[in-house]
Copies of this chain bind each other. A is one copy, B any other.
Amino acid sequence: MAEKRYLLTPGPTPVPPEVLAELAKPIIHHRERDFREIYQRCLSRLQDVYRTRNDVLLFTTSGTGAFESAVANLTSPGDRQLVLSAGNFGERWAGMAKAFGADLVHARLEWGETPEPEDLRSALADAGDVKVVYLTHSETSTGVVCDVQALTAVAKEAGAFVVVDAVSSLGAVPLESDLWGVDVVVSGSQKALMCPPGLGFASVSGAALEAAAGAGATRYVMDWERTRKGQAKLDSPFTPAVSLVRALDVALGLLLNEGLEAAFDRHARLGRACREGAKAMGLELFSPDEERSAVVTAIRAPDGVDSTEIVKELRDRFGITIANGQGSLKGKIFRIGHIGWFDIFDITTALAAVELVLADAGAEIERGIAVTRALEAWAEHTPV
């Protein structure tokens, strides 16, 4: 029999069959009305998912490319900018802001900590006049989801633009771009939006667009104003990945049809089920044991077991792909993603297989309760 495969990483994530089928449709021309209709609906659905009336600019690029659009459009060399980081993707903001010549203030927490408003307030006070603050909504490397609403309020008080990495959070946990006053939200197609990788997005407030007009960093394909002008006429300035755009349109339709609140509730329950199952077999969580941890569950490898081996065994024996730790957490934690096209049986599959692999590795774990405990936790609904 051909091996079955299970993709349980925090991105790229599994894509529903309706979306895969859309990818296989014949190519259409990007300046043709067939495409314009899809493009328009897709851009409008993105606004719905973002909960914004700002333009959501769509780029053919990776999630990191969407990051870059923000840095390249908001930076003039020498600008004072602040990154509040507690993991790999926060580090990426810092590396990029530096590469673009910002006078970077890097407020660096330990990987796995949750950035709190007080951390930001004191970093801003120390730094003085900060023009841009970069935040990471869901730090995929650690499983931490921070309180972007509270952090944004602190940054706005200090008069800074707020740029949020929502690559793994958009569509999975609540994010109110306009209500919370976030200037720029960047995201990508390959996480909770249930699409293949290849499209990146940035919602941009009017004030941020204005600031971009005066920003000196060089950029061309990801220039915001050029992209905005093109989108206003439904005329992408450069050939977009038409197959991915039509797939995204279908995927966003599925998400909005489920309803954002229902999707948030489902993700919260998936996260809870995963945590409860892991704890039931005696494992220690690395990501916080709280409702917001709805994107990825990071779990410490038990004493004497290398998480690299857990990941490898799952892949080799069962065709299951989960994620190792990144950076210095490699070998120490493993990560189970549950964003996008996931239901409870993806979680029970992951838990059952982890249980077996750990037992065979001689780890002291409790057998036979993880799956049942996960199913029980899943049954509890989150009050909206």
Contacts and interface: CB of A to CB of B under 8 A. Distances in A.
Interface residues of A, number: 53
Given A196-B242, A243-B198, A220 B26 contact: no
A68 interface: yes
Nearest to A13: B27
Contacts of A61: 60-61, 65, 221
A64 interface: yes
A39 B220 CA distance: 27
A345 to B, nearest CB: 16
Interface in A284-339: 315, 321
A71 to B, nearest CB: 8
Contact of A243 (B23, B27, B99): B23
Given A20-B25, A24-B20, A65-B238, A217 B218 contact: yes
Interface in A23-37: 23-30, 32, 34
A198 B12 contact: no
Contacts of A238: 62-65
Interface stretch (A3-11, A147-155, A258-266): A3-11
Nearest to A322: B29
Main secondary structure of the interface of A (DSSP, over half): loop
Interface string A183-215: 000001010000011100000000000000000
Contacts of A34: 5
A50 B96 CA distance: 32
A68 B221 contact: yes
A5 B28 contact: yes
B218 A218 contact: yes
B60 A99 contact: no
Given A24-B24, A61-B65, A321 B14 contact: no
A27 B340 CA distance: 13
A99 to B, nearest CB: 5
A117 interface: no
B196 A27 contact: yes
Interface string A221-232: 100000000000
A24 B246 CA distance: 13
A214 B196 CA distance: 35
A181 interface: no
A21 interface: yes
A14 to B, nearest CB: 6
A59 B100 CA distance: 20
A15 interface: yes
Interface string A83-124: 000000000000110011100000000000000000000000
Closest 4 CB pairs of A and B: A198-B241, A24-B24, A196-B243, A62-B238
Interface of A: 5, 7, 9, 11-15, 20-21, 23-30, 32, 34, 60-65, 68, 71-72, 95-96, 99-101, 188, 190, 196-198, 217-221, 238-244, 315, 321
Given A20-B24, A62-B238, 14 more contacts: A13-B27, A20-B23, A28-B321, A30-B197, A32-B321, A60-B60, A63-B238, A63-B239, A64-B221, A96-B220, A101-B218, A190-B239, A196-B241, A244-B244
